[in-house]
């Protein structure tokens, strides 16, 4: 299906924006434009363009128009930006498998976009898997992860014919092997822990031995698991997998991981006479949430990883395995913008708190990791000098803070519209039902059109799940 013919929702038919001519739909995506050339919009989707009255158009549609039409909070996703980033990864990692990490954000339209751009899919549950396959995604191009896969996860993966299952613990080996139908073999990878500390926060570092994921190389757990998998006639071990963490902005940890995993591949061949044909380095590629923050260069990473893999394999006398990577945040994060309305402005001592109509229920990342964002006032031309404020959410937690000490006009007031860029990843996918406020909608924009992808969660939706008295 061409992306121009994706189905529209019955609730919100796509209509062209009156400002489509003001903000050209052919704007070059941010991934290919120097950040310095875009000034305050450096971290925004590449189609972002300033309009009069300090409005901003994304995908040719003014954000004020989207807020008026769909309400707030609302998540805006630039389809062209997502597609551009998918293509960039395929270009930066030639002759490799690129799997989109669905945990960053998943909906049916995004499944279509990823499929049409030629990427595979990395899922972590039966729910993500079912949504993808029932949307038409080929199951053989899907990898299933998870440190504690449920029986339903494994049964669904086998029933639908998932391409790869990543084994994360020794207890999973016999359980999976027993579930594979007689006369068939399931392709698997073993997730190993290379003992490398990398990532933007301790809670998102997964390449070390002191967390719940994978099997350690250092203590022999990985080698033991490999031996057990090879002994299972219904499992076909095709390679190794590792994931170092998230928000990694340099290539060095990945190159170290390549060297350690190739060393393990060499031991596997020595002990078992098997040359495993695949090596999956996971994702975790860092992006900028505020102007000036470091970003992982995927093109440089691709070149360096391929060179290191070839060199290490040559030194070990191994054939070069097929490489795989799993970007999620780096594809969808910069394509998203979230819109909030200001509900109150409170000055307490030396602090000014700007409260909005969303918060930790639609974006828990600041509360979990202390992440910082760069919100912007849109739709009103203020001549008042900016002042430091803290943007907070509406929820009953002191930790419900969306942005600390950010510069907003000193006359910010209730009713103002705030836009927060780089909101496409790990916001709605981690959203909760706290205070029963309902999760926001997701709107796609492209070529001056907007369409609803995921509708707002209503009070009726919430009450419908509550069936007991």
Active site residues: 396
Is 365 marked as binding a ligand?
A: yes
User: Is 426 marked within a binding site?
Assistant: yes
Residue 289 annotated as binding?
no
Give dist(CA 222, CA 228) in Å, integer: 10
In sequence order, what are the residues at sequence separation of 6 or more whose Cβ sits closer than 8 angstroms to the Cβ of residue 452?
Answer: 9, 11, 12, 70, 441, 442, 443, 444
Q: Known binder of ligand: residue 329? A: yes
Work out the number of other CB atoms within 10 angstroms of the CB of residue 343: 16
Residues 6+ apart with CB under 8 A from 290: 43, 372, 373, 374
Task: Tell me how far CA of residue 297 lies from CA of 32, 218, 379, 469, in angstroms.
Answer: 11, 30, 33, 55
Nearby residues of 261 by Cβ (< 8 Å), 6 or more positions away:
192, 194, 240, 242, 279
DSSP-based three-state secondary structure for 247? coil
139 is an annotated ligand-binding site residue: no
Q: 174 is written with which tokens?
A: 């016999």
Please report the sign of the dihedral spanned by the C-alpha atoms of residue 204, residue 208, residue 209, residue 214. positive
For CA atoms 229, 170, 127, 93, give the dihedral sign.
negative
Is 326 part of any known ligand binding site? yes
Q: Is 457 annotated as a binding residue?
A: no
Any known ligand binding at 138? Answer: no
β-bridge partners, 452: 443
Q: What is the DSSP letter of 155?
A: H
In whole angstroms, give the CA distance from residue 165 to residue 413.
51
> Do residues 418 and 329 make contact, with C-beta atoms less than 8 angstroms apart?
no
* Integer Cα distance of 265 and 259 in angstroms: 10
Consult the annotation and say whether 117 binds a ligand: no
Count of other CB atoms within 10 angstroms of residue 284 = 29
Report the binding-site residues for pyridoxal 5'-phosphate.
284, 326-329, 426
Report the binding-site residues for substrate.
329, 365, 369, 397, 426
Report the binding-site residues.
284, 326-329, 365, 369, 397, 426
């Amino acid at each position: 299906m061409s992306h121009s013919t994706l189905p529209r929702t019955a609730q919100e038919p796509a209509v062209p924006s009156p400002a489509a001519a003001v903000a050209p739909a052919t704007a070059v995506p941010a991934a290919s434009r120097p950040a310095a050339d875009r000034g305050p919009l450096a971290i925004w989707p590449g189609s972002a363009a300033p309009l009069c009255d300090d409005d901003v158009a994304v995908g040719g549609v003014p954000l004020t128009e989207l807020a008026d039409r769909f309400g707030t909070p609302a998540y805006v996703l630039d389809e062209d930006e997502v597609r551009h980033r998918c293509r960039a990864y395929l270009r930066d990692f030639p002759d490799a498998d690129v799997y989109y990490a669905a945990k960053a954000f998943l909906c049916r339209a995004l499944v279509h976009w990823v499929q049409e751009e030629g990427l595979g899919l990395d899922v972590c549950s039966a729910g993500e898997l079912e949504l993808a396959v029932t949307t038409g995604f080929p199951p053989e191009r899907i990898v299933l992860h998870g440190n504690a896969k449920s029986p339903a996860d494994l049964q669904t993966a086998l029933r639908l014919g998932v391409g790869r299952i990543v084994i994360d613990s020794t207890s999973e080996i016999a359980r999976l092997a027993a579930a594979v139908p007689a006369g068939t073999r399931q392709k698997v990878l073993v997730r190993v822990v290379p003992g490398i500390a990398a990532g933007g926060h301790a809670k998102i570092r997964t390449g070390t031995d002191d967390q719940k994921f994978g099997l350690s190389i250092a203590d022999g757990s990985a080698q033991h698991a490999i031996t057990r998998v090879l002994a299972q006639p219904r499992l076909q071990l095709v390679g190794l997998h590792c994931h170092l963490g998230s928000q990694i902005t340099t290539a060095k940890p990945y190159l170290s991981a390549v060297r350690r995993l190739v060393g393990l591949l060499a031991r596997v061949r020595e002990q078992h006479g098997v040359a495993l044909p695949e090596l999956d380095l996971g994702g975790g590629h860092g992006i900028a949430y505020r102007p000036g923050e470091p970003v992982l260069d995927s093109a440089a990473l691709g070149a360096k990883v391929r060179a290191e893999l070839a060199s290490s394999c040559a030194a070990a006398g191994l054939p070069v395995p097929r490489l795989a990577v799993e970007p999620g945040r780096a594809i969808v994060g910069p394509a998203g913008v979230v819109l909030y309305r200001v509900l109150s402005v409170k000055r307490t001592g030396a602090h000014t708190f700007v409260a909005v109509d969303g918060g930790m229920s639609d974006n828990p990342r600041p509360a979990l990791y202390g992440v910082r964002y760069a919100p912007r006032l849109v739709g009103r031309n203020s001549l008042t000098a900016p002042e430091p404020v803290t943007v907070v959410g509406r929820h009953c937690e002191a930790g419900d803070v969306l942005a600390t000490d950010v510069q907003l006009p000193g006359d910010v007031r209730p009713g103002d519209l705030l836009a927060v860029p780089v909101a496409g990843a790990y916001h709605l996918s981690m959203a909760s039902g706290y205070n029963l406020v309902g999760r926001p909608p997701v709107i796609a924009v492209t070529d001056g059109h907007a369409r609803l992808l995921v509708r707002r969660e209503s009070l009726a939706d919430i009450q419908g799940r509550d069936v007991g008295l």
